[in-house]
Structure 1
Amino acid sequence: MIAVLTSGVALGAHVPGLRLAQRLRERGADVSVDVLERWLPDDRLAAVVESRRHFQQDLRFALAAQRLASDPVDDITPQARGALEERWEEQGVDTFVVFSGFWLRLLDSFLGRRSRPARIVACHVDAVVSPSYRRASHLVPQAEHVWLARDDGTLPWTIPVDTRPPLPWSARTGRLLVHGGGWAIGSYQDRARELAAAGRPLDLIVPGESAAVDWARCFTLDPTWHPWHDDGLPPLLGVPAGPGEEGAVPGEQGADPGEQGRQLPYELARSASALVSKPGGGTLLDSLWTATPLILLEPAGSHEAANARLWQQLGFALPYDDWRACGFAPERLEPLHRALLGAAARPRNLIDGLLTPHT
């Protein structure tokens, strides 16, 4: 039994964890998903939701929270810990795949009292140690650390997102997908307005329907969805189109509307000519598997700054200011797409790594 351990406050790590679980199940593995916030008391969860609202208003709140945030494990009651550990024992979990370093403290305590050994795989979606892992370096010393990206210029491992090849450049819509990561933060809405004024067609993910605009095709995360209540991918909803922004939304004909909404973020990325976003770990994975260039916005923390440097070094990305300096020239994007083509085949497949007997 494999337990995939994620955190709902970091969708850039949570979504790769969900994709890993999906791919493992397709290979016949028995997999569960545990979200850290699922074990928090209600008042702490309410504070998480309120924090998201502040982060969307000003990126500086998110940066300050990374420096000052307390360990959420402190808020998990002994009763909740006991229930979690009992469930792991009942399920017979023998492999834990960790996408948030906060889980390592819980695992360190649990495994220290458990007679049966377990395999611990700490999966890093960023090119350097992310905030949740910084205070956990001394915990679970037997853990294997795998990296989807590294600041030495390599992509050691990957999680396969799609079985289809990237959409050919000639089949791209010419649209740009503009977003602020899983929590819709940063300067992306101002940048979207500037791109629209320059005549570029946009798909824009906004924080809510009230933030929709009439100069872009807008989408928003379903407000009823929370990762600690739902193990599915985040569903996007379309917002009524503005003048001139009608058009076919990518997706399979006849697909279940609910499932189509969950796949929509990736489908929009797959058909776009570029992603305009801060460089979170989940965005890097989408860029890699869709071979869609990344136009880099301001990073949310030093780990995202390292992601930006790596994607530029590999020829996959262009800083927003550099693209603006050349008038948002479309011809600057195709070389980035060509650099990305085939890159997803070079890293080791994490599915194979997990299903290979560990010695």
Structure 2
Amino acid sequence: MTNLITILCSGFGLGFYIPGLLIERSLRNMGYNVDVEVFENLMMEEKKLQTDVSRKAYTANFAVAKASQRIPGDIRQSLDPFKKKDLIGRWEREGRSRFISLSGHWVHILDELKDRNNSIQADLLYVDSELSPSWKQLRKHKPNYAECYREIGLYDPQIKQTLFRIDVDGKEPLPISKRNARLVVHGGGWGIGTFREAVDELEQAGYSLDVVAYGPDEINDDSSDRRYFMNDPDWRTWQRSDEGVHTFPPFGQIINRKNMEFQFCREHHGLYKVLREAAAVISKPGAGALIDSLSSSTPLILLDPFGPHEEVNADIWVAEGFGIRYEAWRDTSFDKGVLERLHHNLVVKRKQYPDYAAYFAKGMSQLEGRI
């Protein structure tokens, strides 16, 4: 396969990174040559380091995280001009022409490449149901940004319906009878939201919990039935492995916070194996949470959203019968029967939605005259 497919991710949140790696894996399994780029590798070092500062601030204070979306800015001011020039030059020399972008930040780069090579084609892949901040920022500076590209949304916000899924592990969902009846509680890639506030209440309701921690200080070694999991806090999305590739975050169950061990996950993110066996996931309605929910048929209990785009994500999951807002589930006294009904809806409907990677590959095959 000579036509290299380039998947353009962002490290701002795992919801704009992990789905790209899942698509990469699926396309590779179909025989395609695929590369992944992460936007932060084009940024000036001080701007990239600021991403870490922001992450810590957002983890500590959900109000600060939500307020950050209202701060206008132009991402181009954060770019290192030499890194940008080198990347575009390399792409041009290599003849790259097929792209999938999960972040609006990349469109500025695609536009410059298109000025040199008008034959490039790109999917602008919206993993949220409404425009997330990178796309809104792009639209502010270039309202017609999509006119030269193909827009693909995983969801239709007008009719509140799912259009595509992103397959995580290629397996059928586990039935209720083979699950462990535990609940997974997390705050997305950056530990954002109100998930910590739900832990005690859910345990008092009789549920056993698998909690994602975002630092050693969040782990209670004295909790007998609570299990803790964590991504390696020193890992960053913009880092490449010794083999020169972007990877899923190193992940592990934390038994003792003084002795934390993490392992690389090759096929998908490590948390997926945990939530695939669970009765439900309690999380804000982020892009990654929805993708995991549909792929595994694990219901989502929806916490407060991070911005308007996640509010619409929640609306769609409720409308489809795949999730329920936390307050509404509390009103049922945390009824397990609700989770079983949501799981059933997911199992019945998930196959109705085409996998995006397969859809993309079919288009590639048609262009190459293979079908």
Q: Same fold (TM over 0.5)?
A: yes
Deviation at 1:348, TM superposition (A): 2.5
* 8 Å CA contact retained: 2:165, 2:295: no
Q: Which residue of 1 aligns with 2:243?
A: none
Q: What residue in structure 2 maps to residue 99 of structure 1? A: 102
Q: Is residue 2:45 matched to residue 1:39? A: no
Q: Output the amino acid matched with 2:170.
A: T
**Which residue number corresponds to residue 268 of structure 1?**
274
Distance 2:270 2:121 in 1: 34
Counterpart for residue 13 of structure 1: 16
Write out aligned runs for 1:55-134 (5 A). Answer: 55-112=58-115, 114-134=116-136
Give the one of 227, 233, 236 matched to 1:226.
Answer: 236
Q: Are 1:236 and 1:262, in contact at CA under 8 Å, matched by a contact in 2?
A: no
* Aligned mates of 2:21, 2:323 — CA distance in 1: 25
**AA at the equivalent of 1:240:** I
| 1:217 corresponding residue in structure 2 | 227
Residue identity matched to 2:76? V
Asked whether the 8 Å contact 1:217–1:241 carries over to 2, the reply is no
- Cα distance, 1:260 vs structure 2: 7.2
2:94 alignment partner AA: Q
Letter in 2 for 1:136: L
CA spacing shift, 1:206–1:261, aligned 2, 3 Å: farther
Distance 2:359 2:337 in 1: 38
Distance 1:131 1:328 in 2: 33
Shift of 1:67: 1.4
Tell me if structure 2 keeps the 8 A contact 1:126–1:150.
no
TM-score norm. by structure 1 comes to 0.91
Amino acid at match of 1:121: D
Distance 2:18 2:263 in 1: 19
SS of aligned partner of 1:48: helix
* Shift in Å, 1:329: 1.5
- Say which SS state the counterpart of residue 152 (structure 2) adopts: strand
SS in structure 2 of the partner of residue 46 of structure 1: helix
Quote the offset at 1:263 in angstroms: 3.8
Distance 1:339 1:65, change over 3 A: same
Deviation at 1:130, TM superposition (A): 1.5
Kept in 2: contact 1:71–1:102 (CA 8 A): no
Give yes or no for the alignment of 1:302 onto 2:308: yes
Identical amino acids, percent of aligned pairs: 33
Q: Tell me the secondary structure at the aligned position of residue 67 of structure 1.
A: coil
Does the Cα contact within 8 Å between 2:279 and 2:339 map onto a contact in 1? yes
**Residue pairs, 1:282-297, within 5 angstroms:** 282-297=288-303
Match 2:30 to one of 27, 39, 53: 27
Contact 2:251 2:263 in 1 (8 A): no
Determine if contact 1:276/1:294 at 8 Å carries over to the other structure.
Answer: yes
| 1:318 paired residue number | 324
Residue by residue over 1:191-212, the C-alpha shift from the partner in whole angstroms, topping out at 9 and shown as x without a partner, is 1122122221000001111111
Q: CA deviation at 1:181?
A: 0.6
Runs of 5+ in structure 2 lacking a partner?
Answer: 241-245
Q: CA, structure 1 residues 224+261, in 2 after alignment: closer, same or farther (shift >3 Å)? A: farther
Aligned residue for 1:348, secondary structure, equals coil
Q: CA deviation at 1:110?
A: 2.3
Offset of residue 49 of structure 1: 0.2
* Alpha-carbon distance change, 168 to 8 in structure 1, aligned in 2, over 3 angstroms: same
Q: CA separation in 1, counterparts of 2:75 and 2:172?
A: 39
Residue 344 of structure 2 is matched in structure 1 by 338
Q: Distance in 1 between the 2:270 and 2:33 partners?
A: 26
- How far off is 1:257 after superposition? 4.3
State the 1:352 CA deviation. Answer: 2.9
TM-fit CA distance, 1:262: 5.9
How many residues matched? 345
C-alpha distance after superposition, 1:130-172 (max 9, x if no partner): 2211233422412111111221222222222121100011111
Per-residue Cα deviation, 1:47-90 (whole angstroms, up to 9, x for no partner): 11011111011111111111115233321122111111022123
Do structure 1's residue 235 and structure 2's residue 245 form an aligned pair? no
SS at match of 2:12: coil
CA distance in 2, matches of 1:205, 1:328: 21
**Contact 1:209–1:220 (CA<8 Å) still a contact in 2?**
no
Deviation at 1:267, TM superposition (A): 0.5
- Contact kept? 1:225, 1:235, Cα under 8 Å: yes
Root-mean-square deviation (CA, aligned residues, Å) is 1.9
TM-score after normalising by structure 2:
0.89
1:60, 1:257 → 2: CA distance? 33
Helix, strand or coil at the partner of 2:70: helix
SS at match of 1:204: strand
Distance across 1 between alignment mates of 2:74 and 2:350: 34
1:150 aligns with 2:156: yes
Letter in 1 for 2:14: L
**Counterparts of 1:103 and 1:40, CA distance in 2:** 12
